[in-house]
């Protein structure tokens, strides 16, 4: 593949993106969470292209994006809880892992051979329009090289994947900024596989029950993509920093000013007002900016564990994990 086209968010750009997908190509597109790297989920050859472009291990299944709940029901079997979650949070930043339906058309490869499937109805108008125009489920992981920071702009996508994919549909900055929350409804109690754009509290309030943690069965993590080290910038990441050491860059949250911040290599505040939504929206692009400062480490101030703080801290812990 030679050149990656940058498509504008208008009717012509959309039509072109849909035609590339329909002929088995790869198109990155905006969702409300992060940019996804899309391929026709029913075409195993196209799906194989995603794994190759990202250098993603093929045991790690992809989320199938669909336009609405009706389309989701063709692919997966929804129990009562799954149905209620879909009704409450779709379209939006929630992925439901449910048993595969007999009518499923998503390729085995996209599901990594599992008998479950991850489904999501994205809320971004461009993502929705693309799903309608392509008229098929679209498999889409985050549009970054495997293990790297997820992209929230078209420029981030090109930074990682230029020359490896056919096109990117430019829809500006992704609004939520962290990936979807993943909940498995596979019989028994629903489990939280990944904290994300829908806070745990909102889900628990709806189903009036605690979400179980994802337990690992033997060597197989429930969400195979949740490897400990992930979302990794080049620089080392140091959490809960109360002072910034020489040569470090600082990622702050809210009012506290840790010692040493004045002499930091670079400093960015995720949200001066302590707004977790704003912080999530800035997270990945600020990590990239601080990484680009050339700092040897990024020191991160404490961030509350409530609401979207759950997803933000999860991503930061993975960024800080042993590589
Ligand atoms: O917000 C998002 O979810 C973004 C946008 C593009 O939709 N997508 C995304 O995809 O974050 P990805 O591939 O980076 O993360 C998907 C996660 C992986 O950890 C994968 O293991 C898990 O979902 N997953 C997918 N299907 C699954 C299944 N059947 N069972 C368990 N985990 C599954
Ligand atoms: Mg990802």
144 CB within 6 A, ligand 1: no
Place of tokens 């709806």: 206
Among candidates 168, 190, 211, 195, which has minimal Cα distance to 83?
A: 190
**Pocket-testing residue among 28, 72, 141, ligand 1, by greatest number of atoms within 8 A of Cβ:** 141
Residue 60 annotated as lining a ligand binding site: yes
Tens digit of pLDDT at every position of the chain (323 positions):
669 999 999 999 999 999 999 999 999 999 999 999 999 999 999 999 999 999 998 889 999 999 999 999 999 999 999 999 999 999 999 999 999 999 999 999 999 999 999 999 999 999 999 999 999 999 999 999 998 999 999 999 999 999 999 999 999 999 999 999 999 999 989 999 999 999 999 999 999 999 988 765 544 545 656 666 677 889 999 999 999 999 999 999 999 889 999 999 999 999 999 999 999 999 999 999 999 999 999 999 999 999 999 999 999 999 998 77
Alpha-carbon distance of 194 to 299, in angstroms, equals 24
How much is the ipTM here?
0.99
Mutate to test the pocket of ligand 1, among 223, 231, 232, 311 (most ligand atoms within 8 A of CB): 223
How many other CB atoms are there within 10 angstroms of residue 132's CB atom?
Answer: 13
Task: Find all residues with CB under 8 Å of 278, minimum gap 6, and list them.
Answer: 270, 271
Domains of the chain are 5-213 (3.90.870.10), 236-320 (3.40.50.11030)
Question: Is 19 marked as binding a ligand?
Answer: no
Q: Is the CB of 33 under 6 A from ligand 1?
A: yes
Sequence-ordered strand ranges (E) for 70-158: 94-99, 116-120, 138-139
Q: Is 75 close to ligand 1, i.e. is its CB under 6 Å away?
A: no
* Burial class of residue 220, CB neighbours in 10 A (0-12, 13-18, 19+): exposed
35 is an annotated ligand-binding site residue? no
Beta strands 63-65 and 94-99: pairing type?
A: unpaired
Name the closest-CA residue to atom 6, ligand 1: 36
Query: CB of 176 within 8 A of CB of 32?
Result: yes
């Amino acid at each position: 593949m030679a050149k990656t086209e940058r498509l504008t968010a208008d009717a012509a750009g959309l039509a072109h993106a849909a035609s590339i997908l329909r002929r088995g190509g790869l198109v990155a597109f905006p969702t409300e969470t992060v940019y996804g790297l899309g391929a026709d989920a029913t075409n195993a050859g196209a799906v194989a292209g995603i794994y190759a472009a990202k250098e993603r291990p093929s045991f790690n299944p992809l989320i199938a994006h669909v336009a609405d709940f009706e389309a989701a029901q063709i692919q997966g079997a929804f129990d009562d809880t799954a149905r209620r979650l879909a009704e409450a949070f779709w379209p939006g930043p929630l992925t439901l892992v449910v048993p595969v339906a007999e009518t499923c058309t998503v390729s085995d490869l996209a599901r990594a051979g599992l008998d479950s499937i991850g489904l999501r109805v994205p809320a971004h108008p461009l993502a929705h329009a693309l799903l309608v125009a392509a008229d098929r489920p679209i498999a889409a992981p985050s549009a970054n090289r495997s293990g790297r920071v997820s992209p929230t702009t078209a420029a981030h996508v090109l930074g990682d994947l230029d020359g490896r994919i056919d096109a990117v549909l430019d829809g500006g900055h992704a609004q939520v900024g962290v990936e979807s929350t993943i909940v498995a409804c596979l019989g028994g109690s629903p489990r939280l596989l990944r904290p994300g754009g829908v806070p745990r509290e909102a889900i628990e309030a709806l189903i009036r029950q605690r979400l179980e943690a994802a337990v690992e069965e033997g060597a197989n993590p429930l969400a195979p993509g949740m490897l400990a080290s992930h979302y990794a910038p080049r620089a080392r990441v140091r959490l809960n920093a109360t002072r910034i050491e020489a040569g470090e860059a600082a990622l702050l949250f809210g009012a506290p000013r840790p010692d040493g911040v004045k002499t930091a290599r670079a400093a960015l505040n995720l949200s001066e007002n302590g707004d977790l939504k704003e912080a999530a929206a800035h997270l990945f692009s600020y990590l990239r900016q601080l990484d680009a400062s050339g700092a040897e480490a990024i020191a991160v101030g404490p961030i509350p564990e409530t609401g979207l703080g759950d997803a933000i801290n999860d991503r930061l812990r993975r960024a800080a994990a042993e590589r």
